[in-house]
């Protein structure tokens, strides 16, 4: 990672920043400007979904080709260009409008196919014509997504996240012709949600005759029926209308108005009726103009788009038409100004985390920290562009229908997972948003409120399940489906019974978090508490009472770990139900409603399954030791529910070792938060933070993939969702809920700060508690909290003039007062400086390796003081090394031994060397061995036993000691694990000083 000061013509042209501070990223050709919040790539990667940007404004969105604002289709990679379950369609660009779901009898994939006999069908998201295309034709050659890369030179593309602006610039040289310099700029208007615009500026090297083609490409309008197209020459407009399958009374309209800098160009305007850009769908339509370009002179063409559907607007045709026309009348400059102003309002600088050091004004020169700093902008940006702000709702005549759409797994520019709404929005995306962008999170809750009546009706489908006992359920309850689209009904992909009952409590968590963050009692009481209360009613009736043990249990359910379906007494869900019932009574009391004694009694008799020998909560009662976990499950109890107990640390260690490499990319953010909360020593929270982001981040736009590996042949057969907003939402939680230790509660602002040694300063996003903004920042040893003005409109009025009570950690009995405009300072816990292994001077020190390692199994994991993380090279047939920088305080210390935890794959041989230089040009060997004993051998007969995590360990004593120099290197070769092709693993490498001691920020002391 390098810090560069560059003068870039693209920034001069588009972004007006002559001298920019640029950080190189780990992706070749991709740089980041921290002042402008821009990502720039000079690498053209065509036909791959990872390189396509998704743009949206919360109402409509679109996915765009790497080379410009075009419709794109994936080329096969290793025989694969398929999107995943349940559609299994071809990977291609997608565009849609919020809520534009269809109705089909069955999809290609499902969970409970037999439920289709009851006729509910499925509600997958439908597409609209790809509306951004503005193509150039010269001499029969076309500039579109599939243009020959050999014709493109000086390529650069930039995403401006401060202004929500996308740009592509390059030289296009068609075969046999001179070059044309091309600049595309594009926005999806954040304030005027029915509008978007694409501007094309062309500058030829020689006089040229070109055709500019404005396209609405119907190949993008998947799962729809065309209801009409039109061309209006007098207004230079085209339009297309489509209805989703099975929903004839809903129609989406897309209008495009073409303008030219030189109005004479429009004299040649005509409908274009043939060409490859029209695809094979009857909803396609195009118009074009012939233009005579003069050498060296720039000419600009702009298309202004309007979009609307029946779901939010009773007259979508007129809304879309007027949106396109109004945008054209306003012009590009005016649109960009109001659009950028709205982005500045919804995502101001203080609403994102910052790792910039106050002393230098720059991010530390650590590539991992730089990437976290970039993610602190990209993650909320990719989420927030799928939400509608309060100003936008007001600008649309206070259209409340705009505030009732949740966020799907891939957002408005992806049909991954059929655009379904899962728990992903409620507990992975919403928590990081609600504390800093409460309006963005509000629509996630609004979607659940919109479907409450249907959730109540869903109780009546219990007869389709194992819970079909007459009279078991009463009218007071509500049950939500696992997947949801237009209707909120129980379906084959989204059953309500005998599956993931936790979805209901997850929704409850989201509603509670909204109340705690905003203090908006009126909205909560009127719209959200009825959901919370109805879920409690359902949960109390869902449980089964065991009269012999006098406990309540849950039968035939699936916890978040979907590798273990249809189990009894699932751990997370039972803990969630218990918490939900207890909290429902707390909320009833707070809102002046009577307590429900039945719920209190039921909650007190819920038995959560545990294994007392291993001291862990079981994922399900019949679980054995052979379990492999798809995604975070039991560990969610400590994170989402905040229930820290004697099982917490063993849970983390045990289930980290059982985690599948093929699980979705949101698990490790949870592990980071929990590790920072409960670990008594070390810095594994930082390791997990990186593990939850870096392996899933894709170039160039820092969008996440669902999987570590995108190759379905290598990842267990999954075609990854993309972009995977669930993972980005999970990573967006870490700083606030992890390092600051925020736990949302109604009675106090509860924090428990701890920065890992790798992060020396963190300015957190402005957070809201009970509607009142608080600024927070941490250095190594202390955290500062400051009350800010400008509370939310519906904030809890108690604290407008009174102090906020601040509590620290688990002890909430003692509160510190934070008055209006006041500041308090809290001492950090400094757990990274507590030595897990007495006298280990390598713990949490910088570590790197020049050999390839498995995704997410970083070299720093070998020294983070935790056995739940590990470093593992890719290959066992070469020598791999991890080099640890002990720092100046480590030089000259007498080393008396080493301790290594090899996890489950000890090497065949290993060696430890010291050196005064990082390149080990001169070094001394302290120890080597070609005989590594397996201390915990695998015994097949015991595979089902549940035992606390125990790794294979080696302890070495150096009777005469060795003197440490600045750098120490651990080298390993061979592997005794399986598969034998992968390298050996290192869970912990300890360099032990004479006399023991603990670590402190400024060095090493000898007393504990």
Catalytic positions, written as ranges: 562
Q: List all residues 6 or more positions away from 655 whose beta carbon is below 8 Å from its beta carbon.
A: 616, 619, 629, 632, 633, 634, 635
Q: Which residue has the tokens 């020689």?
A: 206
φ and ψ at residue 40, rounded to 5 degrees: -130, 135
End-to-end CA distance of the chain, in Å?
37
Q: List all residues 6 or more positions away from 593 whose beta carbon is below 8 Å from its beta carbon.
A: none
Taking the C-alpha atoms of 656, 661, 662 and 664 in order, what is their torsion angle to the nearest 10 degrees? 50
Query: What are the distances in angstroms from CA 205 to CA 100, 297, 675?
Result: 44, 9, 59
- Classify the phi-psi angles of 832: left when phi > 0, otherwise alpha if psi is within -120 to 50, otherwise beta: alpha
Assess whether the previous peptide bond of 976 is cis (omega < 30° from 0): no
Quote the tokens at residue 508. 């409850």
Query: Helix or strand or coil: residue 660?
Result: coil
Smallest CA-to-CA distance from 269 within 298, 234, 301 is with 234
Dist. CA 523–CA 514, nearest whole Å? 10
Smallest CA-to-CA distance from 232 within 346, 320, 117, 334 is with 320
φ and ψ at residue 701, rounded to 5 degrees: -105, 15
Q: Can you point out the beta strands (E) in 275-421? A: 285-293, 299-309
Helices then strands, each counted (H, E), the chain: 19, 44
Q: Can you point out the beta strands (E) in 415-554? A: 544-546, 551-553
Contact 967, 917 (CB under 8 A): yes
Query: What are the distances in angstroms from CA 961 to CA 277, 856, 893, 942?
Result: 74, 34, 10, 40
Dist. CA 576–CA 505, nearest whole Å? 6
CA 831 remoteness from chain centre: 27
Smallest CA-to-CA distance from 785 within 742, 722, 727 is with 742
Dist. CA 204–CA 177, nearest whole Å? 10
Apex 832 CA angle, 827 and 836, nearest 5: 130
């Amino acid at each position: 990672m390098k810090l560069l000061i560059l003068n870039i013509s693209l920034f001069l042209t588009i972004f007006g920043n002559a001298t920019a501070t640029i950080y190189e990223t780990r992706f070749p050709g991709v740089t980041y400007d921290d002042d402008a919040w821009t990502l720039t790539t000079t690498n053209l990667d065509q036909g791959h979904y990872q390189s396509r940007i998704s743009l949206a404004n919360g109402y409509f969105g679109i996915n765009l080709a790497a080379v410009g604002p075009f419709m794109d289709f994936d080329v096969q990679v290793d025989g694969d260009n398929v999107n995943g379950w349940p559609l299994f369609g071809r990977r291609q660009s997608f565009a849609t409008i919020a809520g534009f779901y269809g109705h089909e009898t069955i999809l290609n994939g499902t969970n409970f196919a037999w439920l289709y006999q009851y006729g509910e069908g499925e509600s997958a998201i439908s597409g609209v014509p790809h509306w951004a295309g503005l193509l150039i034709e010269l001499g029969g050659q076309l500039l579109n997504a599939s243009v020959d890369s050999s014709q493109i030179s000086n390529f650069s593309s930039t995403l401006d996240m401060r202004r929500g602006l996308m740009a592509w610039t390059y030289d296009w040289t068609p075969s046999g012709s001179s070059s044309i310099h091309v600049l595309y700029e594009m926005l999806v208007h954040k304030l005027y949600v029915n509008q978007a615009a694409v501007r094309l500026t062309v500058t030829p090297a020689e006089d040229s005759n070109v055709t500019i083609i404005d396209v609405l490409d119907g190949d993008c309008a998947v799962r729809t029926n065309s209801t009409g197209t039109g061309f209006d020459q007098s207004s230079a407009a085209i339009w297309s209308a489509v209805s989703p399958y099975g929903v004839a009374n809903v129609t989406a309209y897309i209008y495009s108005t073409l303008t030219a800098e030189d109005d004479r160009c429009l004299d040649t305007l005509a409908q274009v009726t043939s060409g490859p850009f029209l695809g094979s769908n009857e909803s396609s339509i195009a118009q074009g103009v012939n233009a005579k370009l003069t050498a060296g002179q720039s000419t600009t063409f702009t298309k202004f788009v309007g979009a609307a559907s029946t779901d939010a607007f009773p007259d979508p045709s007129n809304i879309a038409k007027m949106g396109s026309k109004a945008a054209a009348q306003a012009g590009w400059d005016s649109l960009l100004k109001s659009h950028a102003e709205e982005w500045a309002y919804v995502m101001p600088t203080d609403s994102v985390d910052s790792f910039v050091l106050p002393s230098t004004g720059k991010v530390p020169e650590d590539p991992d920290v730089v990437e976290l700093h970039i993610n602190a902008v990209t993650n909320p940006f990719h989420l927030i562009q799928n939400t509608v702000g309060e100003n936008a709702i007001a600008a649309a005549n206070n259209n409340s229908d705009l505030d009732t759409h949740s966020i799907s797994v891939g957002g408005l520019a992806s049909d991954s997972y059929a655009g379904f709404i899962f728990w992903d929005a409620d507990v992975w995306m919403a928590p990081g948003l609600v504390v800093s962008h409460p309006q963005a999170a509000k629509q996630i809750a609004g979607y659940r409120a919109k479907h409450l009546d249907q959730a109540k009706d869903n109780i009546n489908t219990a007869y389709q399940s194992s819970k079909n006992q007459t009279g078991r359920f009463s009218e007071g309850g509500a049950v939500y489906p696992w997947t949801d689209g237009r209707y909120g009904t129980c379906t084959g992909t989204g059953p309500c019974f005998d599956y993931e009952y936790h979805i209901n409590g997850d929704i409850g968590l989201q509603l509670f978090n909204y109340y705690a963050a905003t203090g908006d009692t009126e909205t909560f009481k009127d719209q959200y508490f009825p959901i919370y209360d109805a879920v409690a009613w359902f949960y109390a009736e869902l449980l089964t009472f065991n009269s012999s043990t006098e406990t309540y249990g849950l039968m035939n359910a699936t916890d978040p770990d979907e590798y273990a379906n249809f189990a009894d007494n699932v751990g997370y869900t039972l803990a969630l139900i218990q918490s939900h019932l207890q909290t429902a009574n707390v909320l009833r009391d707070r809102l002046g409603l009577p307590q429900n004694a039945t719920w209190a009694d039921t909650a007190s008799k819920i038995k959560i399954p545990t294994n007392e020998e291993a001291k862990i909560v079981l994922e399900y009662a019949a679980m054995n030791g052979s379990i492999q976990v798809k995604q975070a499950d039991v560990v969610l109890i400590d994170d989402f529910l905040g229930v820290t107990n004697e099982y917490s640390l063993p849970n983390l260690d045990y289930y980290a070792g059982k985690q599948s490499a093929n699980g979705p990319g949101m698990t490790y953010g949870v592990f980071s938060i929990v590790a920072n909360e409960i670990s008594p020593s070390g810095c594994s929270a930082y390791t997990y933070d990186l593990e939850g982001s870096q392996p899933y981040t894709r170039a160039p736009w820092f969008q996440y993939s669902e999987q570590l590996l995108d190759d379905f042949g290598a990842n267990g057969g999954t075609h990854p969702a993309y972009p995977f907003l669930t993972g980005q939402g999970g990573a967006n939680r870490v700083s606030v809920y992890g390092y600051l230790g925020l736990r949302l509660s109604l009675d106090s602002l509860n924090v428990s700060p701890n920065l890992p040694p790798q992060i020396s300063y963190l300015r957190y996003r402005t957070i809201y508690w009970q509607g009142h903004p608080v600024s927070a920042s941490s250095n190594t040893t202390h955290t500062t909290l400051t009350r800010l003005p400008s509370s939310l409109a519906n904030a809890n009025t108690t604290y407008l003039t009174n102090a906020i009570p601040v509590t620290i950690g688990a002890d909430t009995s003692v509160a510190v007062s934070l008055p209006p405009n006041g500041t308090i300072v809290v001492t950090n816990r400094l757990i990274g400086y507590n030595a897990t292994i007495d006298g280990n001077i390598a713990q949490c020190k910088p570590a790197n390796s020049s050999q390839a390692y498995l995704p997410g199994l970083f070299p720093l994991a070998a020294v983070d003081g935790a056995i739940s993380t590990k470093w593992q090279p890719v290959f066992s047939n070469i020598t791999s090394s991890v080099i640890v920088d002990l720092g100046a305080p480590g030089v000259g210390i007498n080393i008396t031994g080493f301790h290594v935890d090899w996890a489950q794959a000890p090497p065949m041989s290993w060696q430890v060397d010291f050196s005064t230089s990082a390149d080990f040009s001169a070094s001394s060997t302290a120890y080597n061995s070609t005989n590594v004993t397996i201390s915990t051998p695998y015994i097949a007969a015991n595979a089902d036993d549940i035992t606390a995590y125990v790794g294979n360990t080696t302890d070495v004593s150096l009777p005469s000691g060795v003197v440490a120099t600045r750098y120490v290197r651990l080298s390993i070769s061979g592997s005794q694990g399986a598969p034998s092709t992968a390298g050996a693993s290192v869970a912990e490498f300890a360099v032990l000083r004479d006399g023991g001691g603990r670590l402190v920020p400024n060095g090493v002391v000898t007393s504990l």
